[in-house]
Amino acid sequence: MEPEEPVAVDLSDIERKVLAYGVGSWGGPARCSEALAVAMGFRDAQDVGKHGRRLESALIAGEALTAMDWRRVLVSTEIFFASDVLGCGREWSIVRGISDEETLRVLRGLQRKLPWRVTHLPEHLRPR
């Protein structure tokens, strides 16, 4: 698979919604640092906002994403949902209207559903 080749994944409405919320919410009360942006696969914090809106729209429309974009969406959502320090954390269910239990069930399902090549970093991108 080429890095820029779109990968179609059949997602349910709730899976699309959780991922769209997780990647499209940076820039509100949750601010992304430069280091976190790079760790999530973006160039910098400004790139998170730019690509976050694009990815949010693509997810809602049910479009295929590149493997790198699927990684960005998944890790962004994992951090935004779970971290009270870096993301939404305990406020997720209040802000997004989806319970923590439902969101965690959806995330675990996505971690299983997304192809291995999407959820695992290529060797040259892994930390040493």
Amino acid at 57: S
Give the pLDDT score at 30. Answer: 75
pTM for the structure as a whole: 0.86
Rg of the Cα trace of the chain? 14
The pLDDT confidence band at residue 1, using thresholds 50, 70 and 90, is: very low
SS in 3 state form for 9-45?
Answer: CCCCHHHHHHHHHHHHCCCCCCCCCHHHHHHCCCCCH
| Residue indicated by tokens 């919604």 | 17
The pLDDT confidence band at residue 124, using thresholds 50, 70 and 90, is: low
pLDDT tens-place string over residues 19-69: 999 998 887 777 789 999 999 989 999 999 889 999 999 999 999 999 899
- For 66, the 3-state DSSP assignment is strand
